[in-house]
């Protein structure tokens, strides 16, 4: 018999009996219940947001606009509890909840989940006066919620007293005491994506997610869920059950998510001089202090992730990590350079993705000033300003190379050389459903019509829609040249970007600029070969059986098609 | 003149003289010699094992079934001392050994190998009562071996008193005092490969090893030797000359071997939340304590490699790391999914490699229960169970993608499109000798016949035999499409596997699932191009000089051929 | 208004007023000025060196032989201050300089660059007697420069009292007190490149650097500048403003530069047993002690980067890291093996790059003895000797594989199969200018003539000139096969080399030998496809439009061409 089942039956019996024995005492201790107030984590979001992202549906349906097109992986009840948690069924905790038997949680779980309980015992939740600074914070919280806090125990977070059931706490439960932090976190939405509060969108709102489900690959996407669940959880940074602010102030707190091709932050910071000095002098960094009180130089010799990215200017730090983001994730083309390829028309009338970024907008210049203010803690303002300018130049050049590559593929498609053509390959992920699922107002008339007419058989390349090449593989969609291009603008450009931004020169060059050039060469070679082969087939005429279907409108890249469509209707966004 | 020689001559002279001066005193101290008992490290292995893996042959021949087909690299005397060590010849230590001049070792080597001697001075070997816990362990050992231990010195480990020569100790020498540990280590064999005790097999028993020797590349394989030497040595984990148990309990002890494409354990654990918390709170982990006594939560906030993988259930920990392995290395196809490609027939009647794994066998369900028991130290059993189920789903899907890729190449071979054909390329590594060297009873009649008939010119792809693509490059064998496939199922699948298993989501996705999809796309593109080119040549008829040799039986993939052979003879394994 | 400007104006006003108020006092304190002597950092270099590498030109022109062909990135004023620094213009510091108002620096910068000032306060510059060892060092310096040192402040390093302007100190300024160290650093030149003192050469003296400028990509090369600036700066290791010797003795001090494809030192050391033990026992390493006084074993259980690479033999350590380098960076072919490809003729008469290395030369055998002496601190001399021999064998084999790959491409070029031909693709970087810019005496008559005649349209592959494939992408130059080859001999060979040298077996194999074999396979497949396609075109005759231009002399690889040229003229180098 399975261990879990055995354990559970044992517990059921033992504990229910125990509970009954003690219930006499408990009933005498009746008191006026404290009713906590909690924040709506999606406060300020559009109306439809709660119904597709928040309202708990357990594991019955998904989240977002494609919620009916995939069933969540079971683990999502832990990664995205607000929407997907289902209370445990192996053991009925109702009686303990009704009697408010706080004492019993520990009694059992101490033996089962010793580590979790020990963590909690080390936490400020167990001892809200464990240090001077924590006592002061507790005092403030007590004032705000109007209640004395002796300790915060299992019951407070894990019990839904209304529904009388076990819950997995989300940021909303945390907001009962830590409202300011959750409100700051919510404020990230005001600065556009990417951000943490909307991270779950980028996970499930992309068509390759439900497509992966349709093809039976969703477990493979489980990796996405683990990070993107940060939308409604606090414990990715303040790990359970210590929930330590000091821990969350350490660079390592960010690193298990912020690594890899799309945001090599751990690597680029960790191996930069900033990171290396942190590693060498770690014990001198005072993580118990709130960031605003840190003595620069004395307590932090170099900045941490948090010190730079939580900084709001004027000496203020909040739980908003994106307010100073200029290039953001590095994937959106800047409006400040000229494009030769169909990148000219980006974002092709699509309203759901951000338009080109004006790096020199007033707003971005203000952000830059805050960066210079920050860097000037140690460096000269001129040094900081020059460095940031060179970072911009790098990014302009990287988008220039991206443009070169996109032009090569644009031309292949326009000349009906890309092999196989969009007609002779698999659809764009969920391409057969997109026009049905997404209103033209969201994805633009041009794109909507293209998908509608072809059932998803449109060639799509480049930022952002073309990133599917790294997340999906249909039959011959994408082909090698498109994957190579996707790696160029997404994977390697982002390595170069973060290498530059975090001053890790080797990552900047060797995992960034150099492989971008290598992929460009590969794209050239691949395009040249496709042209050579097409010319051979041309010369052979009808003798070759493997010819493409005849050239047609749908062979034009989505980008070009949309551009023309927009021009035609004089749509101006 | 070479430094080594100069040094040795100096030492020879000085020491021999010194030795003579002291010899008078020593002869007086005669005592009854203590005769240590040591374990046969390959106890319980098949009869032929000792003669090809254990019996010391110095550097004269190799190990395993191909022992006559390669000469070991000189470094193997250190990596695999049991079989390959040769005593030093530059200086004759016989006199010191005969006189049992233990005191003289240090006298010289202290000056030559200061670091080694200092390490020893910090060890429990130098001071077997250096702490309470070590004193207790020493007491137990003394009881077991029937001898008081004042100290364990150079002489005890490095001198073969029978042969009167210097030896490099192997695990067998360690077993004189630490028999339980070596016996536990030996017990890994009972759970199948991969394991530590048979690691040397996976190094030298693969045909690309002697083939590398034949082609003059063996130094390039030197990297393999360094890790795989763990078969008969204890110091890969308990590094010399401190041989510390505390050191071997730290995750870092595993990491210089357990990293890289085939088992990215260091990366995936190190960058997971478990690993990151260990990194941040390292000083709180009490490594002096035996694992069974560790207070979870208090002394280890997160698990270490050792804590999970040495766990045997029921609170017991031993030196057997593989007893809970379900998916093992992640390379053996599961029997739980349907295959479209020739993976259907895996392992093709080969008895030397493991058959498909039934993930849901009773034995594997028992292992799973032990995992759940372990994870429940901190997590809920439901969390653990769900996570492990999702890991299985990931692996099933990954093998599904593997199957898709293998089908593409199977079809290319069956249609005589793979270019060049097996006839027109180099042999499978050592393919010309395999039928001669390995009995049909080991590799199955089908495979044996295929190799026999073609002299090794058979197309081989996929797990496990096809992994040669990452270890060998003959002329056009493998070609790009096969290497791409090998990277897909071996390199990237294993990244995804360990990323998932160790809860490092970025590795799971970005170094696992995503590149698997990318390679699948690459394989599709490459297959498509081969078909296009073949069609062109077909259309051109006899005009093209570079045509393949005519289609023939040997063009069928080994896997298909074997399948048919087995069917034909109704061989059922 | 921009933050920088606002800040500067504020400072200008406030400080100038403050300065005026204090100026009365200061004028009274007049004393005989101390005139520091500093070393010429390029002492012993050829005459032309100073004029192209040292003489300060601000940002007006570049450095080296191509100095007129690129404008430096603005950040180069910080990365290469000796040549490129420009004093700040936003605020006039002249008055403070004239009055020698040392006290005022801190007064302002303490508020602006708190971290920098705090760093300095922790340094030996602030307190030259902060420990016994530092006091003794200070005493020695005082003796040497003939002046008592109370403290070394901003003024001492950052003020050019002659020019009365702010300077960014280079190693020359450091040499005023630390002459021995700078002199040792300078001595690296005596051992050939690569080295630190000439690092800037390898950055800007390669034709792809000015070519990147010409194509508008120079910001992408910014990563190069950050490391290569070490030529004339001490703070890459002794980071500002603590300038700590102890910090520079830690392996991490090297790691932000010494990582990545070309010198994966951080990775290979860090993940070796040496590095892992350092990581585990870091707190036992005594970095306050000069290397020569370190008690091996007791204070360093394993060696650090510095301990091995600064060792000069006989117990002596200096700031020369290259004196024991045998294989150097691993890019120069050894003279000890036979080549089939045009590597036979390496270095093709080029005087600017090093000739083949004789691994067994007297000089290299002496270096080897020093390594053995070093390793014998812990290992037996035989172990060390054997290991080093195996490393050599690995390198010989790696160059053998390189030779195989070069032969394949040599033959493609000779047979006019490489597609497109050199005539039909972009030039070699700066190829149109090279014959004009570099005298034949430097690059050899053969190479010079080839470039002269073709205007840079020569096929160039292999070490060293062919490394451009990783640094530049013109139109179809390089193509995929050449990039693959460049990755093979440069990227992966160097991984294997350092993996071996630093005893990190996984890097040696999985990032070294295995991908080398994979690239060789890829090169074979690509060559085979080019031959197949050429044969098809041949069969089709004039029908195909995409044919190569006719075969001609310039289709021969540069290497072959040069070889013939040299033979013809019986030039023997």
Report whether pLDDT(B570) > 80: no
DSSP B79-119: HSHHHH-----SS--HHHHHTT-HHHHHHHHHHHSHHHHHH
A334's tokens: 């800047």
CB contacts, 8 Å: A470 with chain B: 514, 517-518
Strands A311-313 and A316-317: antiparallel
Report whether pLDDT(B287) > 60: yes
Domains of chain B: 342-568 (1.20.850.10)
The reply to whether B88 touches chain C by the CB within 8 Å rule is yes
**Interchain pair B469, C521: CB under 8 A:** yes
Q: Which of A202-216, A530-544, C158-172, C185-199 is the least confident region?
A: A530-544
Rounded-to-integer distance, Cα B484 and Cα C44, Å: 52
Residue B30 confidence (pLDDT): 52
The reply to whether B532 touches chain C by the CB within 8 Å rule is no
What tens digit of pLDDT does each residue of B244-255 get? 999 999 999 999
The reply to whether A286 touches chain C by the CB within 8 Å rule is no
CB contacts, 8 Å: A78 with chain B: 383, 386
Per-residue pLDDT 10s for chain A (573 aa) are 445 554 554 454 444 444 444 444 444 445 566 778 999 999 999 999 999 999 999 999 999 999 999 999 999 999 999 999 999 988 889 999 999 999 999 999 998 899 999 999 999 999 999 999 999 999 999 999 999 999 999 999 999 999 999 999 999 999 999 999 999 999 999 999 999 999 999 999 999 999 999 999 999 998 899 999 999 999 999 999 999 999 999 999 999 999 999 999 999 999 999 999 999 999 999 999 999 999 999 999 999 999 999 999 999 999 999 999 999 999 999 999 999 999 999 999 999 889 999 999 999 999 999 999 999 999 999 999 999 999 999 999 999 999 999 999 999 999 999 999 999 999 999 999 999 999 999 889 989 999 999 999 999 999 999 999 999 999 999 999 999 999 999 999 999 999 999 999 999 999 999 999 999 999 999 999 999 999 999 999 866 754 454 444 545 666 666 655 545 443 333
The reply to whether B520 touches chain A by the CB within 8 Å rule is yes
Q: What is the mean pLDDT of residues B286-309?
A: 97
Rounded-to-integer distance, Cα C82 and Cα C57, Å: 9
CB contacts, 8 Å: B222 with chain C: 390, 394, 500, 505, 508
Considering only residues 356 to 375 of chain C, which have any Cβ-Cβ distance to chain B shorter than 8 Å?
365, 369-370, 372-373
Number of cross-chain residue pairs from A and B with Cβ atoms under 8 Å apart: 192
The reply to whether B530 touches chain C by the CB within 8 Å rule is no
Indicate the helix (H) or strand (E) that contains B165: strand B165-166
Closest CA to C96 of C107, C111, C110: C107
Q: How many CB atoms lie within 10 A of CB A209?
A: 26
Residue B22 confidence (pLDDT): 47
Q: What's B351's DSSP letter?
A: S
Question: B129 CB contacts (<8 Å, ≥6 apart)?
Answer: B135, B138
Residue B20 confidence (pLDDT): 43
Closest CA to C508 of C398, C371, C356: C398
Q: What is the mean pLDDT of residues C124-146?
A: 96
Rounded-to-integer distance, Cα C454 and Cα C553, Å: 10
Rounded-to-integer distance, Cα C249 and Cα C161, Å: 33
Residue C528 confidence (pLDDT): 97
- Report yes or no: C251 and C306 within 8 Å, Cβ to Cβ: yes
Residue C569 confidence (pLDDT): 43
Rounded-to-integer distance, Cα C449 and Cα C551, Å: 19
SS3 of residue B474 by DSSP: strand
Q: Which of B88-92, B502-506, C160-164 is the least confident region?
A: B88-92
Rounded-to-integer distance, Cα C559 and Cα B432, Å: 37
What tens digit of pLDDT does each residue of C279-297 get? 999 999 999 999 999 999 9
What tens digit of pLDDT does each residue of C465-483 get? 999 999 999 999 999 999 9
Residue B565 confidence (pLDDT): 52
Rounded (10°) angle between helices B514-540 and B493-501: 170
Residue B34 confidence (pLDDT): 75
Instruction: Enter the pTM of the model.
Output: 0.93
- Report yes or no: C330 and C397 within 8 Å, Cβ to Cβ: no
CA of C405 vs chain B CAs: smallest distance (Å): 11
SS (H, E, C) B429-472: CCHHHHHHHCCHHHHCHHHHHHHHHHCCCCCCCCCCHHHHHHCC
Indicate the helix (H) or strand (E) that contains A165: strand A165-166
Residue B571 confidence (pLDDT): 35
Q: What is the mean pLDDT of residues C348-365?
A: 95
Residue C564 confidence (pLDDT): 60
Count of CA atoms in the C-beta half-sphere (13 A) of A340: 12
**Interchain pair C470, A373: CB under 8 A:** no
Angle at C495 between CA B305 and CA C427, to 5 degrees: 140
What tens digit of pLDDT does each residue of C79-116 get? 999 999 999 988 889 999 999 999 999 999 998 899 99
Q: What is the mean pLDDT of residues B427-453?
A: 93
The reply to whether C222 touches chain A by the CB within 8 Å rule is yes
Q: Which residues pair with A426 in a beta bridge?
A: none
The reply to whether B545 touches chain C by the CB within 8 Å rule is yes
Residue B35 confidence (pLDDT): 78
What tens digit of pLDDT does each residue of B314-323 get? 999 999 999 9
Average model confidence (pLDDT) across chain B = 91
CB contacts, 8 Å: B111 with chain C: none
SS3 of residue C244 by DSSP: coil
Number of H helices, E strands in chain B: 29, 2
Rounded-to-integer distance, Cα B502 and Cα B508, Å: 9
- Report yes or no: A274 and A502 within 8 Å, Cβ to Cβ: yes
| Burial class, C455, CB count within 10 angstroms (exposed 0-12 / middle 13-18 / buried 19+) | middle
CB contacts, 8 Å: C419 with chain A: 528, 532
Residue B559 confidence (pLDDT): 64
Report whether pLDDT(B417) > 90: yes
What tens digit of pLDDT does each residue of B462-487 get? 999 999 999 999 999 999 999 999 99
Report whether pLDDT(C334) > 90: yes
The reply to whether C20 touches chain A by the CB within 8 Å rule is no
Contacting subunits of A (3+ beta carbon pairs below 8 A): B, C
**Interchain pair A505, C472: CB under 8 A:** no
Residue B479 confidence (pLDDT): 97
CA of A232 vs chain C CAs: smallest distance (Å): 36
Average model confidence (pLDDT) across chain C = 91
Rounded-to-integer distance, Cα B325 and Cα B343, Å: 22
Report whether pLDDT(C210) > 50: yes
- Between A247, A266, A537, which is nearest B280 by CB? A247
Residue A512 confidence (pLDDT): 97
Positive or negative, the CA dihedral A284, A286, A292, A295 is negative
Question: A252 CB contacts (<8 Å, ≥6 apart)?
Answer: B276, B279, B280
Chain centre to alpha carbon of residue A230: 7
Chain centre to alpha carbon of residue B506: 26
Closest CA to C374 of C320, C305, C272, C319: C305
- Between B272, B377, B521, which is nearest A473 by CB? B521
Residue C547 confidence (pLDDT): 46
CB contacts, 8 Å: C220 with chain A: 394, 397-398, 496, 509, 513, 516
């Amino acid at each position: 018999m399975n261990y879990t089942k055995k354990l559970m039956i044992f517990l059921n019996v033992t504990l229910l009996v125990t509970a009954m024995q003690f219930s006499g005492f408990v009933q005498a201790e009746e008191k006026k219940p404290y009713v906590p107030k909690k924040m709506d984590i999606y406060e300020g979001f559009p109306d439809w947001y709660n119904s597709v992202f928040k309202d708990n549906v357990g594991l019955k349906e998904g989240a977002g606009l494609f919620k009916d097109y995939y069933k969540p992986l079971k683990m999502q009840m832990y990664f995205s509890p607000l929407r997907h948690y289902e209370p445990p069924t192996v053991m009925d905790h109702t009686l303990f909840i009704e009697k408010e038997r706080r004492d019993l949680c520990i009694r059992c779980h101490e033996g089962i989940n010793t580590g979790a309980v020990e963590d909690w015992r080390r936490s400020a939740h167990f001892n809200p006066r464990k240090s001077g600074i924590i006592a002061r914070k507790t005092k403030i919280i007590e004032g705000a919620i109007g209640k004395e806090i002796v300790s915060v125990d299992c019951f407070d977070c894990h019990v839904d007293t209304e529904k009388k059931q076990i819950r997995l706490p989300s940021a909303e439960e945390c907001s009962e005491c830590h409202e300011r932090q959750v409100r700051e976190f919510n404020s990230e939405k005001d600065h556009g994506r990417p951000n943490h509060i909307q991270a779950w969108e980028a996970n499930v709102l992309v068509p390759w997610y439900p497509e992966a489900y349709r093809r039976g690959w969703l477990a493979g996407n489980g990796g996405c869920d683990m990070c993107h669940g940060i939308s409604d959880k606090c414990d990715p940074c303040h790990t359970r059950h210590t929930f330590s602010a000091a821990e969350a102030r350490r660079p390592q707190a960010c690193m298990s998510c912020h690594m890899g091709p799309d945001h090599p932050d751990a690597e680029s910071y960790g191996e930069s001089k900033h990171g290396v000095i942190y590693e060498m002098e770690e014990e001198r960094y005072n993580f118990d202090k709130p960031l605003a009180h840190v003595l620069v130089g004395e307590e932090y010799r170099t900045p941490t992730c948090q010190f730079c990215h939580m900084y709001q200017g004027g000496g203020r730090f909040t739980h908003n990590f994106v307010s100073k983001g200029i290039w953001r994730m590095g994937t959106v083309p800047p409006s400040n350079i000229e494009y030769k390829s169909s990148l000219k028309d980006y974002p092709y009338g699509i309203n759901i993705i951000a338009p080109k970024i004006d790096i020199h907008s007033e707003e971005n210049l203000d952000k830059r000033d805050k960066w210079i203010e920050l860097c000037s803690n140690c460096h000269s303002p001129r040094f900081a300003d020059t460095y940031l300018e060179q970072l911009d130049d790098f990014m302009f050049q990287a988008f220039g190379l991206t443009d070169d590559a996109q032009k090569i593929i644009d031309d292949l498609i326009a000349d009906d050389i890309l092999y196989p053509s969009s007609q002779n390959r698999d659809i764009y992920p969920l391409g057969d459903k997109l026009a049905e699922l997404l209103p033209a107002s969201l994805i633009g008339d041009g794109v909507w019509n293209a998908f509608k007419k072809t059932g998803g058989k449109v060639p799509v390349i480049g930022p952002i829609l073309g990133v599917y090449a790294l997340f999906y593989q249909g039959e011959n969609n994408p082909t090698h040249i498109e994957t190579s291009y996707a790696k160029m603008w997404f994977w390697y450009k982002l390595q170069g970007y973060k290498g530059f931004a975090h001053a890790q020169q080797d990552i900047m060059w060797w995992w960034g600029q150099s492989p971008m050039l290598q992929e460009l060469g590969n794209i050239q070679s691949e395009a040249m070969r496709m042209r050579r082969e097409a010319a051979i087939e041309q010369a052979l005429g009808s003798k070759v059986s493997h010819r493409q279907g005849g050239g047609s409108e749908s062979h034009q890249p989505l980008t070009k098609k949309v551009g023309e469509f927009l021009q035609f209707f004089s749509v101006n966004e």
